[in-house]
A and B are shown apart, each in its own frame.
Chain A
Amino acid sequence: MRGAAKGFRVTLRRFFAPKETQRYPEEKPALPERSRGPFELTFDPVSGKPLCTSCGWCTRICPVEAIKVDYVEAISGVMYSAADEPTLAVSEAEAEAEAIDEAALQSILDGYDESRGGLIVTLQEIQERFGYLPRRAMRLASERTGLPLPKIYGLVTFFHQFLLEPPAKTTVFVCRGTSCRVRGGKSVLRRVQRELGDIGVDEKTADNEFYLRTFPCVGECSHSPIIGIRDEYHGRLSRGGIRRLLKEKA
């Protein structure tokens, strides 16, 4: 009898609570920075010429090698020679910014072994050592494994755990899984954002102390909503609990 009453309370509360439905054509979802959508040939509104110069960069960067550029003079009107093709050379500034321990990187890459998980394990080891995946590391990994760089980029951006730039001192994850969402994950995210000075998702705090990210699902649904901080998961935190946790780990 008490159980049934509980159920009625839940449904009634849901009745008045805001709804989860996204009114799609009117309300577009905010796409993550790394999302890749379909592409189209756009034209210069003034000249009417296509903005594509058939440079071929897109075919290189596409992680699944789905793009092939066929050059048709009637459309383009501009011809590029092979010499114009962009190269993967790193600019000096970039190389300087990525002053990394080459020897350590090389020894990790030497341990690459297809039979024990292959590239993902190697990349995990690199991230463990450097905190993120430096460009140079990915380039060397491409040479070591023989996989094209775009493939590696595709793999790295597919898994949420890989970071492409140095993280802040502490990374905070908020889970966005279904269970967490139903149990108030959204307000937990808002709470964390407020505690960190109203930063957005995938942003760092000004003092470079915290890096806020979201996670698709951490599989700890019985404790949802989940906050991950460093390598720990914390579930069912109160407002005060969130503040205390962030202070403690700062």
Chain B
Amino acid sequence: MIERIAFTFLLALVLVLVSALVNTMLERRLMAFMQSRLGPNRHGPWGMAQPLADALKLLGKEAVIPRGVERLPYLAAPILAFLPSVLVLIATPLSSRFQIEDINLGLVYVVAVGSLTVFGVLLAGASSDNKYSLIGGMRAAAQMLSYEVPMLLSLAVVGLLAGSLSLSAVVRAQNIPFAFIQPLAFFVYLAAATSEMNRTPFDFNEAESELTTGYITEYSGMRFAFFYLAEYAGLTVNSILIATLFLGGPRGPFEAGPLWLALKVLFLTFIFIWVRSTLPRIQVHKLTSFSWKLLVPVSLLNVVYTASVVTLSSAPRLLAIAPASLLALVALGVAFSRRGRSLTAMRRAVQ
């Protein structure tokens, strides 16, 4: 039993570490390309050895523990921030045959474990004895209150469509990927995941231009690297989750396998990097109002509607749900840009 747990954990750990290294490279290169630059291309073919060089450099750095920090939480925070990625990966089906552990409450488990990252961030902020860190940590906590609710609501939609809370059952239920049946829930989940990963436009707790690097400010060397790894591992793990929940996971046109999953994950990673290099950070309170005034009510209605269709109607789900979901998504976009326009009009009137 213990052997099995150790093996499971180790396997997930290796997967997460490798993907995090690959992601740092991907992000730097792809972002550079979108900014008309080449990015790091000096080490190895196409610069692929750059992450190794980075890792070596960080390993060689002195691990400073500043005076005045609260030692235990300060030391535990990087690990706590990193662990959830590994734990989430354990429950996701990587191919039709391979899943490290098929938990029958997979959806619940994934959310419960995934949101632990915030505790690491909060601890780091609170124990660092630095105002920037503290503000970063508090922002992380406040931010979680904004994105976690719509995220859960769109997960509920997935559960309703699949008729089960097990992740492998969710994959099995997707003869048509849920992203096509429920584009609204897909979009809401994407936005919430961006927020959970602290990526632009929602990277409030790092916010280099406002908070130096927020909760990471007092960390250096390998402990800093752990936060860094946690972020990039989060990118992969969230992409895997989204692929599993909405894009059919390892299923493809033929022979379900890890290749399809990898392609979907790469696609989603590209999208996230694309978003990062395009959108600037929004104001902190805007996420809260965007989430509570738009995403939550819309997602709630979505849950109610999906539930009623699933229980009452015998019609094919795609026909009953997809048009309504798409319409709601378009309405959401229009409402959002309308609001922006009326704001500009108001500002003009004031001037």
A residues bordering B, Cβ < 8 Å? 1-2, 4, 7-8, 10-12, 14-15, 17, 19-21, 23, 182
Contacts and interface: CB of A to CB of B under 8 A. Distances in A.
B34 A15 contact: yes
A7 B275 CA distance: 9
A14 B35 contact: yes
A2 B337 contact: yes
A186 to B, nearest CB: 12
A167 B279 CA distance: 48
Interface in B307-348: 333-334, 336-337, 340
Given A8-B278, A11-B277, A11-B278, A20 B340 contact: no
Nearest to B30: A15
A17 B36 contact: yes
B37 A20 contact: yes
A20 B36 contact: yes
Tell me if A's interface is mostly helix, strand, loop or mixed. Answer: helix
Given A1-B337, A7-B279, A15-B33, A23 B274 contact: no
Contact of B38 (A4, A10, A12, A19): A19
Contacts of A21: 36-38
B278 to A, nearest CB: 5
Contacts of A7: 278-279
Tell me if B's interface is mostly helix, strand, loop or mixed. Answer: helix
Nearest to B335: A1
Nearest to A6: B278
Determine which residue in A1, A2, A12, A23 has the highest number of CB atoms from chain B within 10 A of its CB, and name it. A1
B274 A8 contact: yes
B333 A19 contact: no
The number of chain B residues touching the other chain, given as a range, is 10 to 19
B41 to A, nearest CB: 8
A171 to B, nearest CB: 30
B33 A19 contact: yes
Nearest to B33: A15
Determine which residue in B41, B278, B337 has the highest number of CB atoms from chain A within 10 A of its CB, and name it. B278
Contacts of A12: 34, 274
13 contacts: A2-B337, A4-B279, A11-B34, A11-B274, A11-B278, A12-B34, A15-B30, A19-B37, A20-B36, A20-B37, A21-B36, A23-B38, A23-B41
A14 B36 CA distance: 6
A1 B333 contact: yes
A21 B38 CA distance: 6
Nearest to A1: B337
Contacts of B277: 11
Contacts of A1: 333-334, 336-337, 340
Interface string B13-46: 0000000000000000010011111100100000
Given A4-B278, A8-B274, A19-B38, 11 more contacts: A1-B333, A1-B340, A2-B337, A11-B274, A12-B34, A14-B34, A15-B30, A19-B37, A20-B37, A23-B38, A23-B41
A204 B337 CA distance: 53
Contacts of A11: 34, 274, 277-278
Contacts of A15: 30, 33-34, 274
Interface in B295-316: none
Contacts of A14: 33-36
Contacts of A23: 38, 41
Nearest to A17: B36
B81 to A, nearest CB: 29
